[in-house]
Amino acid sequence: MTSDKPRTVRCPTCGTSVSWVAESQYRPFCSARCRQIDLGAWASEAYSVPASPPDASDGEDFLPPGVERD
């Protein structure tokens, strides 16, 4: 059983309800403004993806294809 009512999500920037349909060109954002605000936050490093600190041995064993160790 499917519903004819489109799914709605909240805009990550302002919280406005947004219909999840093809016509919502900025989804999941409600507008170009909210999309730009979010992009600006990523560009200014306000958001970050958690990661563990690099290990001293990381990368020592990796060589790109076609590169041989001396």
Q: Which domains does the chain have, with CATH numbers?
A: 8-43 (3.30.50.10)
The SS3 of residue 64 is: coil
| Residue 58: pLDDT over 60 | no
Cis peptide before 28 (omega within 30 of 0): yes
Residue 8, strand partner residues: 19
Q: Which residues, 6+ apart, have CB-to-CB distance to 37 below 8 Å?
A: 13
50 pLDDT band (50/70/90 cuts)? confident
Average pLDDT, the chain: 85
| Residue 8: pLDDT over 60 | yes
Cα separation, 10 vs 39, in Å, equals: 17
| Residue 47: pLDDT over 80 | yes
What is the per-residue pLDDT across 31-45, written as a single tens digit (0 to 9) for each? 999 999 999 999 998
Token reading at 69: 């160790």
| Residue 59: pLDDT over 70 | no
